[in-house]
Structure 1
């Protein structure tokens, strides 16, 4: 097996730069983590479908429902987040990315958490929790180091989201082991992801939209980031904070509805309707649409009009999963030298995840069809990530094209 090295040498003992030897898969952060996250999204959902159908058992001591929720919030999604941050943070800071053996070890740390947690009945909950709890803090330390070394203080907002997610994972385990339902951890994790999407989405969506519009010789650009966007983020964070700490209060509903209006206006200012000729760009706007929709769902749940689980799924599938697939497809094409256009298979993946986001909360409206809706939404989920793996898996394991 070829030894993995980096041409840039070492900084403070950590190899840096793109690995030129060894597997291409570990030459850049997005490669192993996008592929691993998508594969685990498929496997974890398949296991869950078999579990609720009575075909198998999983994590009985921990609780199958808790295992499923954990792997949706901290399993596949933490891998996708890692792939994005390990690729984007070096671009933001101007520093070389973690690559080669350090990247391999980080990936194995994430994978170990998934496998040990899956076998928690055999290893014991304490071992499973200890292994799983390592990945996010290590990723956090890597990102903090890069942001501080690069003196990109504005990116500390992203670090804050990663801190919240790491804390949420610990609270999740604590609440489950204590025999409680991890409602607080659910909400904190989702709030962390949505907060990151509000911040990072406000950076990449108008930028990619402007680039695409400019490439067609037009000048109807999206509105640039200004104080209005800062206000939207602030109100959104306030609404999420109230939802995490006091989901049943009327003030939470008011803040969430205010956030919904503001983020709908923010999305409109980005002129997404002008990009539907290219779904690789348009899907970013569609995914962000679930931010105001999610705030509406939170408000309705706070007012006891819809059940809280439906509100959770609007956020987890609509906002988080659809944005993750949107970012994975765009980044994978861009960083592997492919043309920045969505194929028919990519568009089918987008359609499947959006349909899943719309279908899963429907159990609140059609409770008598709950088993069928579970099957439909689970199948759409597997379809969305499966199509990604089929099309983008080869791109992620093969060398970058030169165009």
Structure 2
């Protein structure tokens, strides 16, 4: 999509569009937070957080890293949906500082208290949700208003996370609600961008079969996925939940097959989107299977298939593509970009295998190292593009 032109007194490049500060901050934090988490997992490091160590890890992956990337995506996509000017300059800086304040507050919550931490941390997603809703409504872009539903649920799950952690000592329902909202966003948005980008590439480079057009099957898949994840949130141990999640996995697998991804093997920027979506049915299947047969499967496998896999791979794929496209670069991953994609795929797959208890605990460290390499690699490779001005579009 085209990017809006700005006035001569436009702000610095970093504050000209939402994807710039939030992709940079989110990627850097994704790598550093996992490097902090690994020694915490082994008992070698402690935070000043009121959260239990596992709660801190889950919270910061969802409401730290993912919240930043989601914000960058929304603040970049909404102006293209509505034709309105993007949030930029001081308002964008204010949102970035609010996100940073949330990370500091959560890390040092034992010093500032749970209520102050909750207010500071939850203010960010509340502000982002409100800004997104106002922009979409002012632009009368009713078609995309449905995106606000999972975004709002994601923001509410952060509030619930703080309340559960304080009053119950550990989060429970909020974890599943946050992951579920994120997966619904991937299913909803992925269903637009993956077949769209695939169709564009195939029409230009490999004429023949194209992705199936959007149909009632796609809507049924989205609704079934949302309903099964809602049931998982409320009743995570019932057989009905397990079987419904596995049915949703089958629907998403068929949906992915309809997008003709195998015909775009020569374009890493397209293929990584398909590979990222693979983790949606895999994750739903593993979560459902664990509910049906808990003696044979650990919950960690399915959770990390959805988290490190679907969320991690899909967000990184979108970050790379959006950074290249919106800064005027050619849409080519190149060897370095492929290395970043490979690292995040290794991180996801090894963490799933570790969750299946098929190898030793060293796989967790390998997964964490690969994850950090992928996201810090993104910062090193694409950070200068995010910090610098837009260049003239190069030939594809």
Out of 47-56 and 241-250, give the one that drifted further.
Answer: 47-56
Q: Are 2:319 and 1:323 aligned?
A: no
8 A Cα contact 2:245 2:288, kept in partner: yes
Pairwise CA distance, 1:51: 2.1
Equivalences for residues 147-158 of structure 1 within 5 A: 147-158=136-147
Alpha-carbon distance in 1 for matches of 2:194, 2:50: 43
Cα pair 2:353 2:359 within 8 Å, conserved: no
> What are structure 1's unaligned runs of at least 5 residues?
1-6, 9-16
1:400 and 2:390 correspond: yes
Shift of 1:367: 7.0
Partner residue of 1:3?
Answer: none
Residue equivalent to 2:152: 163
- Out of 338, 349, 356, the residue aligned to residue 365 of structure 1 is 356
CA drift of 1:46 comes to 1.4
CA distance in structure 1 between the aligned counterparts of 2:160 and 2:374, rounded to whole angstroms: 30
Q: 1:216 to 1:378 in 2, by over 3 A?
A: same
Shift of the alpha carbon at 1:278?
Answer: 0.7
Q: 2:299, 2:355 within 8 Å by CA — same for their partners in 1?
A: no
Using the alignment, how far apart are the partners of 1:193 and 1:176 within structure 2? 20
Instruction: Please tell me whether the aligned partners of residues 206 and 263 of structure 2 are also in contact (alpha carbons under 8 angstroms).
Output: no
Name which of structure 1's ranges 169-178 and 63-72 shifts more when overlaid on structure 2.
63-72
Tell whether the 8 Å contact from 1:353 to 1:380 is kept in structure 2 after alignment.
Answer: yes
**What CA distance in whole angstroms lies between the structure 1 residues aligned with 2:215 and 2:8?**
38
Gapped runs of 5+ residues in structure 2?
A: none
CA contact (8 A) 1:240 1:256 kept: yes
Q: Does 1:191 align with 2:191?
A: no
Task: Quote the Cα distance in structure 1 between the aligned partners of 2:31 and 2:257.
Answer: 33
SS in 2 for 1:221: coil
Shift of 1:364: 3.6
Looking at structure 2, the residues matched to 175 and 386 of structure 1 have their Cα atoms a distance apart, in angstroms, of: 32
Alpha-carbon spacing, 1:337–1:122, altered in 2? closer, same or farther (3 Å): same
Q: Compute the TM-score of the two structures, normalised by the length of structure 2.
A: 0.94
Is the 1:39–1:389 contact (alpha carbons within 8 Å) kept by the matching residues of 2? Answer: yes
CA contact (8 A) 1:19 1:27 kept: no
Shift of 1:161: 0.6
Which of 344, 365, 373 is the matching residue for 1:375? 365
Which whole-Å CA distance do the structure 1 matches of 2:101 and 2:268 have between them?
35
The CA distance in 2 between the partners of 1:364 and 1:352, in whole Å, is 18
Deviation at 1:366, TM superposition (A): 2.7
CA contact (8 A) 2:48 2:107 kept: yes
Alignment match, 2:329: 338
Aligned to 2:344: 353
Q: Could you tell me how far apart the structure 1 residues matched to 2:332 and 2:150 are?
A: 30
Kept after mapping to 2: 8 A contact 1:18/1:100: no
Deviations 1:261-314 (A, max 9, x none): 111111011000111101011100000111111110121121114222222111
The residue that corresponds to 2:191 in the other structure is 202
Give TM-score, length-normalised by structure 1: 0.92
Residue 180 of structure 1 and its aligned partner are, at CA, apart by: 3.6
**Cα drift, residue 97 of structure 1:** 0.9
Q: Distance in 1 between matches of 2:156 and 2:80?
A: 26
Taking the aligned partners of 1:365 and 1:160, their CA distance within structure 2 comes to 33
Deviation at 1:64, TM superposition (A): 2.1
Relative distance call for 1:291 and 1:331 in structure 2 (3 A) is: same
Aligned length: 388
Give CA-to-partner distance per residue, 1:67-115, whole Å, 9 cap, x none: 1111011101100000000001111122211111111111111111011
Deviation, structure 1 residue 355: 1.3
Structure 1 residue runs of 4 or more that deviate by more than 6 Å after TM superposition? none
Q: Distance in 2 between matches of 1:225 and 1:85?
A: 22
How big is each residue's C-alpha offset from its partner over 1:220-252, in whole Å with a ceiling of 9 and x where there is no partner?
Answer: 211111111111111111111111111111111
Measure how far apart 1:359 and its partner are: 1.1
Aligned to 1:214: 203
The Cα offsets for residues 112-151 of structure 1, whole Å up to 9 and x where unpaired, read as 1011221223222322222101000100001100111122
Alignment match of 1:311 (pick from 302, 320, 332): 302
Give runs of aligned pairs for residues 234-249 of structure 1, distance below 5 A: 234-249=223-238
Alpha carbons 2:298, 2:356 under 8 Å: kept:
no
- Deviation at 1:19? 8.0
Give how far 1:217 is off.
5.8
1:267 aligns with 2:259: no
